[in-house]
Chain A
Amino acid sequence: MVDDQGQQVGAGSALAPGGRPAPRAGASAPAASVVGVRVAGGTLNDDLRAIRVVWKRELIRFSRNRIRIVTSLVQPILFLFVLGTGLSPILSGSDHFNFRTFMFPGVIGMTVLFTAIFSAISIVWDREFGFLREMLVAPVHRSALVLGKCLGGATVATIQGAIMLALAGAVGVPYHPLMLLILIGEIALTAFALTVFGVLMASRISQIEAFQVVTQMVVLPMFFLSGAIFPTSKLPQWLAVLTKIDPLSYAVDPLRRTVFSQIALSPRLNALLNPGVTWNGWRLPTLLELAMVAVAAGVMLFVAILQFSRTD
């Protein structure tokens, strides 16, 4: 029997009209019930269904875990209102600038980072508890499963990031509609790239214990070097180089520029707090930074799909 035949006969003919399976053992079973069984994993429609259901599962699990939603907001709020307020006196001086405003885009980036990585790494749990196998044995392309997972994690991280936007007023950022819209777009792109990054790491991790290692060795350095919590304008050379190597810098900077576009600031403070990412003195335009994030996401997605498509 050829795969194509099944598809042409179409979905569902294996089932009798009542939704019950066609009788198989009886002599009266029509020969058509064999060719009528559809063949999944070939058509675009099958893959779209798979992407959608994997995505939906992420959202169901997220919405059911209210404690996770709340606790994952505690950390950014601590950073913003405790650390941000604590550091404000050092910086404000004559210009009377609220350091919380500086930290706001960085803390959004942090929220997205931790949510996205946590969602992606849940693959390791799925592997441990067996559910990953249920997905991997399905007659769909692995690429659809990986993409569904990445989109699901990205959606969850975008929602968490968007919740943080509600705090804008509390840190002196106006609720400018276009700014908020652009921010959500940037958050979504960042969330997707970071989820893909997490999924790629998860493809190489087989033990839950390794999650701690990943957090300590990868996620925290990425966070600290990204310019999320301190300005990168007056750093010693070695640290400045590290911040430019950190891919997250290229996702945090667009967020900060978008926020700062709506804030009146002296040129001196702007240069200090919003220096952007520079290569050899040249400041990268926002669109280039976003394009780099998108390309990185695409490349990592490709590698992650390859990783999950291997068989023994």
Chain B
Amino acid sequence: MDANSIIDSLYSQFPDDIYDTDVESDIRVVAKVKSENITNVCRYLKENLSFGHLSCEFGIDYPDRGEIQVLYVIGSYEHPVVLTLKADLPRDDPQIESVVPVYWNANWYERETYELFGVKFIDHPDLKPLVLPEEMLGEWPLRKDYKGFPNKTAKNLV
């Protein structure tokens, strides 16, 4: 399975949902995906293209474009290609379907993305903060306009 055939296979299966694809090298492929259909795309990737290893899932904040991007870096145990899926969400109300039914280990990644960026994952089994204390929920510290960084509470700051 090489990079180009993966892209072709994805295109033929989801002509409306996949766009802006790019083959960066033999082992790196990037594709943008419409957020409504992310679970189906992931299921197809896992079942038909042997992308069984979700490396990570995380968010990036783009305040200039008014978007929050959720990225899925998916690898495989059978072939060396790593695929990066990107889904653009509106910054004021970011919502996307959870991929936990497909990739079990997305659970914590989604909880973390939720508490750090405020992305709401629909149908997530247990969406609650993972690394932050409960009272910090709602501050979305990894967004670019977060006010609490740098923290100035330390004494003797120069």
Do A and B pair up? The answer is no
Binding site for B on A (CB under 8 A): none
Binding site for A on B (CB under 8 A): none
